[in-house]
Amino acid sequence: MPFERYTVPVMGRLDAAIDDELARLRAELVAEYDLREVSHRFGQSDFTFLSVLDSYALLDRIDPAAFVKDEQMPYWAEIWPAAVTLSRQIVQTGELAGKSVLELGAGVGMASIAAAKTGARVLCTDYSTEALKFVAFNALKNRVQLDTCRLDWRLVKGDEKFDAVIAADVLYERLNLLPIVTAINALLAPGGSAYIADPRRRLADQFLELVHENGFEVAETRMFDADGDQTVAVTIYKLQRAKV
């Protein structure tokens, strides 16, 4: 069974129609959130992304009953340095061009949009439906077409496979580690690769142990990226199934 997709329509649309849709989406977001817009240059391409100005301001909006059930924090609302590093690497290498790609925990969609810009066929997923509103806006703003879908990485269903799975800064809670490994295993097509960008969190070592236990080989690319006036160290883990 394929994922239930919503396609962000760009191909074949006039700029005026896209601008009208952007104005409508932005008005909806302005009514709900204080917004922040940032610009980045990856490779030879310029990108603009909309996110929430202060994610902590969203804490008061969390429904207590829902929090007891899922303990979901509004991490989606920020653009994390690991997402910037992963996006830059995706554009500079171009290695996802022409491939089918799924992003786990996409937040506002930066890495998915970077992949789509290089010619990948992207399914951008997040647990939060709020996040997917920002993904739709940012995809249109950057003139890339992709699909979105709400996805709980603890409950990956269906038999659809992807050439690549990408994720940025998702190794922040121990209870997520095994579900993420299981999701990657379920989603990757034979010969596929997963790219997990992480800002050197302590849980990364435990994640790697689980990855090896589940039959994956790992290659590491260590990088540094600027976050304001600070330099952030990020490692991109490339996972591939071990050859038998």
Query: Is position 4 within any domain?
Result: no
Query: Is position 120 within any domain?
Result: yes
Beta bridge partners of 198: 235
Is the alpha carbon torsion for 75, 225, 102, 164 positive or negative?
Answer: negative
Helix axes 110-117, 81-93, angle to 10 degrees: 10
Domain count, the chain: 1
Query: Is position 1 within any domain?
Result: no
Containing structural domain, residue 146: 9-241
Tokens (6 digits) for 141? 């703003």
Query: Is position 166 within any domain?
Result: yes
Query: Is position 128 within any domain?
Result: yes
Is the alpha carbon torsion for 6, 10, 13, 19 positive or negative?
Answer: positive
Query: Is position 116 within any domain?
Result: yes
- Report pLDDT digits (tens) over 135-161: 999 999 999 999 999 999 999 988 899
Q: Which residues contact 224 (CB under 8 A, 6 or more apart)?
A: 231, 232, 233, 234
- Report pLDDT digits (tens) over 35-61: 999 999 999 999 999 999 987 677 676
Query: Is position 3 within any domain?
Result: no
CATH number of the domain residue 178 falls in: 3.40.50.150
| Segment (H or E) for 38 | strand 35-42
- Report pLDDT digits (tens) over 193-223: 999 999 988 899 999 999 999 999 999 999 8
- Report pLDDT digits (tens) over 164-174: 999 999 998 99
Cα 51 to Cα 7, 38, 145, distances in angstroms? 20, 8, 19
Query: Is position 88 within any domain?
Result: yes
